[in-house]
Amino acid sequence: MEVSNQHLPFELTKEYIEKIQSAILEENHDLIKAEMEELYSADITSILYELSGEEAHYVVSLLDTKVTAEILSDLDSDERKKLLKNFSSAEIAEYINILDSDDAVDIINEQPVKIREEVIALLKDREQARFIIDLMHYDEDCAGGLMQKELVKINVKQTVTECVEEIRRQAEDVEKVYSVYVVDDDGILLGTVSLKKIILAKRGSKISDVYEPDIVSVQTYMKGEEVADIMQKYDLEAIPVVNIQGRLLGRITIDDVVDFIKEQAIVDVQAMTGISEDVEEDDSVWKLVRSRLPWLLIGMGGSLLGAEFIQFFDKDIALYPILAAFIPIVGSTGGNAGIQSSSLMVQSLADKSGLSISFSERLVKTFKVALMNGILSSGLVFLINLLVGNELKICTIVSLSLVSVILLASFMGTVTPIFLSKTKINPAVASGPFITTANDLVGYGVYFYIAHILKNMF
């Protein structure tokens, strides 16, 4: 059976980009249109990332308005701002008119104030303009900032027949209809009615007889993380957003929550690796340097303090030079133990779907795990040291140090994220250079202190 090319996965190559750039240079409209018509909007988006702002604008100007609007909503924020610098306010308004209100607000908020006001003034769809103005005062990471105003709602007093007509009317502006929201005369959310129930209801039935009063909703001020947790817990494709009085204001769909989760994951990964800004590899050299340098300097400062620790015990090292050979294993083992504990704690703090255990229970559990890991690891190192012919004194010092370092590093890895979370600092920071540097200092101090105490006991 022959498969159409448009259903095959698109592979972006350097040769293909050069072909498109050549067509742009020659103003070959027909070739560009023919190429773009074969692709999904996501594939076109990947092409635009490789073009300059003017080249991307030229390609976009040849596309269908709906396709361009979808591409703009999918583009990375930084890339979108670069691209839209080449667009007039009238062009932007044309695309904003057909976007969902939440995507439209994201794009408008990225523009300078002058462009923002011009675009809103130029919108032909005045209801869309009102939706956008309503959403603009919400923080982008709260339920109000994530919601879209487009939805299908019905008054509880209406009949199923009237509901069907209302769905037909409202659904023109709603891309996906997951369910119909039921409200009273004051707009207070009462429940939902599924499309299946509407279809199967008897002629003349009232909405009050078929709607489901049990409904999960969120309020506008709730954090995006809480919204994501609720939607995941109840396996929801969309969730209604209400104000303090319970009045229905909008809905949040699963695609917006997924985008939010991805953005938060990127922030957490960057924090864990010691990157202090939201950056990408194609950003300017200075921005990349600025985002990475602070934690590199902190790590360097920690290493210098570690060197001071080592110098403080230089007499012990002079007496037993072999002690220096085990510095790497003490430092790396403590760092690994700390990162393991902090990573699990960060994950636990992020997952609010279950019952949280008390602080004392966490510490007891951490102590048990760390003690078991410490005994097994240090026992293995003890045996290896004996087998290679090291003195019993050295074997004991290294093994006891490993147990102590693993216990302390695990404790720090557990406590630090909790402390950061309480002080409103991203606990993911604890899983990166911060915890590694701290554990190096603790590890070196414990190792040489134990060596200093035990050197005269054998």
CATH, residue 386: 1.10.357.20
Amino acid 174 reads: V
**Nearest CA-CA partner of 79 in 100, 50, 112, 101:** 50
Tens-place pLDDT, residues 267-320: 666 665 555 556 565 566 776 677 667 767 777 777 777 777 777 777 777 777
Strand 218-219 with 189-193, pairing: unpaired
For residue 78, the enclosing domain spans 16-142
Backbone angle region of 453, left / alpha / beta, with phi > 0 → left and psi within -120 to 50 → alpha: alpha
- In the numeric block, the tokens 């369910």 are attached to 179
241, containing H or E segment = strand 238-242
Tens-place pLDDT, residues 40-87: 888 998 899 889 888 998 998 899 988 999 899 888 888 888 889 888
CA–CA gap between residue 385 and residue 363 (Å, rounded): 32
Tens-place pLDDT, residues 6-41: 455 778 888 999 999 999 999 898 899 888 888 888
Contacts of 205 (CB under 8 A, 6+ apart): 159, 160
Average pLDDT of the residues in 139-163: 90
The values of phi and psi at residue 277, to 5°, are: -130, 165
Q: Are residues 29 and 166 in the same domain?
A: no
Contact of 338 with 436, CB cutoff 8 Å:
yes
pLDDT band at residue 354 using 50, 70 and 90 as cut-offs: very low
240, containing H or E segment = strand 238-242
**Residue 352 CB neighbours (<10 A):** 14
Share of the chain above pLDDT 70, in %: 88
Residue 270, CA atoms < 13 Å, CB-side half-sphere: 18
Residue 41, pLDDT score: 87
Range from 84-93, 159-168, 258-267, 387-396 that averages highest in pLDDT: 84-93
Residue 276 within any structural domain of the chain: no
Of 108, 142, 176, the residue at which a domain comes to its end is 142
Residue 31 within any structural domain of the chain: yes
Tens-place pLDDT, residues 170-205: 777 787 888 899 999 999 999 999 888 888 888 788
Q: Are residues 261 and 182 in the same domain?
A: yes
Report residue 6 as tokens. 């448009």
Q: Are residues 309 and 218 in the same domain?
A: no
Beta bridge partners of 251: 148, 240
Q: How many structural domains does the chain have?
A: 3
Q: Are residues 28 and 84 in the same domain?
A: yes
- In the numeric block, the tokens 């991307």 are attached to 56
CA–CA gap between residue 174 and residue 225 (Å, rounded): 25
**Nearest CA-CA partner of 349 in 268, 451, 437:** 268
Going from the C-alpha of 208 to that of each of 154, 176, 230, the distances in angstroms are 10, 24, 27
Of 122, 142, 162, the residue at which a domain comes to its end is 142
DSSP count for the chain of H helices, then E strands: 22, 6
Going through 220-317 in order, the beta strands assigned E by DSSP cover 238-242, 248-253
Q: Are residues 105 and 175 in the same domain?
A: no
